[in-house]
Structure 1
Amino acid sequence: MTDTSLRSVTVERTGPGHFTATNARGGTISFGTGSDTEGDTDFTPVELLLAALGGCTAVDVDIATSRHAEPSEFSVAVTGNKINDELGNRMTDLTVTFSVVFPDGDGAERARAILPRAVKTSHDRLCTVSRTVETGTPVTVTVEGA
């Protein structure tokens, strides 16, 4: 591994059930437990996982298609079922569904034609998030000083 391959975030507790993740560039995103408390709109960690799955492929697909035509609509729905079984809590039946519309004009036919291939290529080879989930990469958890 090289220094350029390392990715990291730091998660800090900001209050009961509330956290902020900060990346190496200083960007932040808040999340929490998703309690039913009125006004609690923070994403949960599971929702962040779903967003990462959709967002990773969305970035790849946008780069591949928007060089030919700017989409008039571009959304990605990501769903899954949270279950608890003998393996513990986990997500099953993860589905990423693209809805992309290109208006008529220069490059639109080309963008429409490559859309399915761009989605497949991202899923099969490019998207680090879905590739990591599907290959089942082990996670090491430690406690500093223990």
Structure 2
Amino acid sequence: MTDQSVARPGSQRSVELSKQGEHRFKATNARGGVVSIGHGEDPDFTPVELLLAALAGCGALDVDFITGKRAPFEEFAARSVGTVVRDDDGNHLVDVSVTFDVLFPATDGGDAARGVLESAIRMSQDRLCTVGRTITLGTPVTYRSGSLD
């Protein structure tokens, strides 16, 4: 955290990972939600796909909360894309983007929602989406060994 950062009470998040088979894991959150993780030769999400899903999902929630005060989506789709590269910095994603395709009703509320859509997307990108902001700002990640013995 920076000198001006303030962690809100209850703001820490965690996920527990357990092995489910060869190169397959199960991530479980504190509320009991489960996501399967694999290496790409099975239907499970890969870690990179989960990151892309988190980006799209984080932005989708922001956009939904902001525009939904005016009108609900009639149709919604989001797509997140990134290219995996290996270079002097190791493996990482480049050219990461999230695109929202939304349709609002042909009502005054729908017009109002359309009117704030672009600003909602910008607010998500520039301030609100924790996942996107963390990637954009960068933060050190520490890997360490625990002990089950």
User: Normalising to structure 2: TM-score of the pair?
Assistant: 0.91
Pairwise CA RMSD of aligned residues? 1.4
1:107 is paired with a residue whose SS is helix
Identity %: 50
Matched, 1:130 2:136: no
Give the whole-Å Cα distance in 1 for the aligned partners of 2:67 and 2:46: 31
1:12-58 per-position Cα deviation (integer Å, ceiling 9, x unaligned): 110001111001111111110011xxxx2111000000000110010
1:129 is paired with a residue whose SS is helix
Q: Could you tell me which residue of structure 2 aligns to residue 62 of structure 1?
A: 64
User: Normalising to structure 1: TM-score of the pair?
Assistant: 0.93
Structure 1 runs (4+) deviating above 6 angstroms are none
Give the whole-Å Cα distance in 2 for the aligned partners of 1:19 and 1:59: 26
1:109-135 per-position Cα deviation (integer Å, ceiling 9, x unaligned): 000000000000011001000000011
1:71-100 per-position Cα deviation (integer Å, ceiling 9, x unaligned): 111111100100011111100000111101
Give the whole-Å Cα distance in 2 for the aligned partners of 1:24 and 1:66: 27
Structure 1 letter corresponding to 2:14: S
Q: Give the 5 Å matches for 1:1-146.
A: 1=7, 3-35=9-41, 40-145=42-147
Q: Shift of the alpha carbon at 1:5?
A: 1.6
Structure 1 letter corresponding to 2:30: A
Number of aligned positions between the proteins: 142
